[in-house]
Structure 1
């Protein structure tokens, strides 16, 4: 007597597992995965309203976005002209008021951008907030120099830390690459300022501090603690390479080369073409320096470029082939 095979139904898979599988397969990006999670986590009524809501008018969005950019630029140009004309005649308090008001106006304008403009609203808000972070840095420069009597490297940690605090809040509210950059740069400045305060303006220690902060940033982004992940790792790698270049010794050369090679390995592991591009830029600055210092000769730089370029081309082709969806192969 033939026995029947009983097929048990597979348990339904969770949305989290599906999204992770789709991201790994390259079907959607990390940003799209987070957007889907946020959408599904909202109340059913709000999701239905979003689904039924008409798409915003593209023409209106573009006009508002363009006017916002133009207005922000005009505001900064006007403030710059006003400062250049009457700066020496202004009191310290009035200088701080003018720059602080500009920073608050830019940040407030970003908060006031209506969400119904869609993606245009996000881009406009990011630009306004980035300009607001720059204005915050200018405010702290005046404050540290004219009020706290701190100059040059002695004011870097004040300006960097204060600006980073404001930028961190704005990045937390809107995690875009531009807000990420506005946070990363003052953090690097703060690291340089602290290192130079502790080591009597030693540039090697300043470069080491930059390298350390940048590596921590890239690691945090790779682990998903800093969004967006792709640009977070890219900024960290470039910052680490910059820090190593400021170290005029063999340790700086070794750190720069190690950073570039680690980025190549990470790009291959993650099959990421953007990170491979960043690795190529890192190798472009680190390998010729290492070759000229450790293997001096007229041909060292040329051979280094040829070998490095060939390896990168091969790596790019491998990553591109690995990212292709599986399908039937033709003979």
Structure 2
């Protein structure tokens, strides 16, 4: 009979703290998630009848999570429809103070509901919390609109300088607590509104300033996401680039066209550098929005416009094929910003950015 040797024995799994540290380093989970997992496992190990150390860890009940998530969305939609019906019946007759109180209560209730979502639901909890907190940001914006129009009596573009920053402050706190893509989007919207308000204040009747300020704000946003300051990086860069492209297109002169086209090209370059098809898809939208405008303005005539679109489309197809062929190789990225070739695709000595 063959006896078991040392080589036949299964390799023991590393301790949980080492695994968590490795996962955080690899960018699979965030430090907060690692801390939560460690605390949860510590409680399970010390609880009566808990699993033995190193034993199998059952995952969350997927079906229960999906049911809770679906009920949460359905309940939120029903409440929203009911609130809209109630508002259409009595909103005009309510005093301003009562309107503000109702909106503030709705915003606070949405934030509290997001906090109350249990962590044990896993990804479903994260999605449900993101939706609730995004709605809370929208309610905050509605509160500020009513406040500026009915209390401050500011109903022109200057109201954006109140609505935008105040809403962005609430959105920034929620994004800081849970930096998901939806919280990031909820923060970007009031930032753009603030930039538009600043543009109107600076330019007055000059319609180029709002678009220019949007382009500046969105470009800074994309750069901050690229540097890892605005998580998740994988959505921050393309969101900022796409908004910057539309901001440039809203400037009614050649400078705006150049800014939009340059931003679109920069997005394509970044997508190729990161070998990311999602980024390339967003870049394609930016290119398809800016290239026809540039072709019509700089190369008048049907033939030149048609040739410009054909060349642009061909380049996008070639870029997509290149990314697809190199994405699965040994140096490919599973996600933009993830390490490749052991250095994260960045110069030696620069630490990898964690989303």
The TM-score, its normalising length taken from structure 1, stands at 0.85
Q: Tell me, yes or no, if structure 1 residue 319 matches structure 2 residue 323.
A: yes
Q: Distance in 2 between matches of 1:44 and 1:64?
A: 25
| 2:142 match: secondary structure | helix
Maintained 8 Å contact 2:202/2:209: no
> 1:295 aligned to 2:299?
yes
The alpha-carbon distance between structure 1 residues 303 and 16, as it changes in their structure 2 partners (threshold 3 A), is: farther
Provide the aligned length of Structure 1 versus Structure 2.
Answer: 304
User: Structure 2 matches for 1:25-174, cutoff 5 A?
Assistant: 30=27, 32=28, 34-35=29-30, 46-47=40-41, 49=44, 53-174=57-178
How far did residue 275 of structure 1 move?
1.3
CA separation in 2, counterparts of 1:279 and 1:106?
34
Choose the corresponding residue for 1:177, options 169, 178, 181. 181
Contact 1:167 1:183 in 2 (8 A): yes
Pick closer, same or farther for the CA change 1:47–1:90 going to 2, 3 Å: same
CA distance in 2: counterparts of 1:114 and 1:220, whole angstroms: 31
CA distance, structure 2, for counterparts of residue 57 and residue 44 of structure 1? 19
Contact 2:299/2:305 (<8 A) preserved: no
Which of 270, 277, 280 aligns to 1:276? It is 280
1:244 to partner: Cα distance: 0.8
Written as runs of structure 1 = structure 2, the 5 A alignment for 1:166-205 is 166-205=170-209
**TM-align CA RMSD:** 2.5
Unaligned stretches of 5+ residues in structure 2: 1-17, 46-53, 332-355
User: Do 1:230 and 1:274's aligned partners in 2 also have CA atoms closer than 8 Å?
Assistant: no
**Post-superposition shift, 1:198?**
2.3
Deviation of 1:245 (Å): 1.4
Structure-2-length-normalised TM-score: 0.80
In the alignment, structure 1 segments of 5+ residues that lack a partner are 1-13, 24-29
Cα deviation for residue 44 of structure 1 reads: 5.9
Q: Deviations over 1:138-176 (max 9, x none)?
A: 010000000011113111121111111111111111111
More helix by share: 1
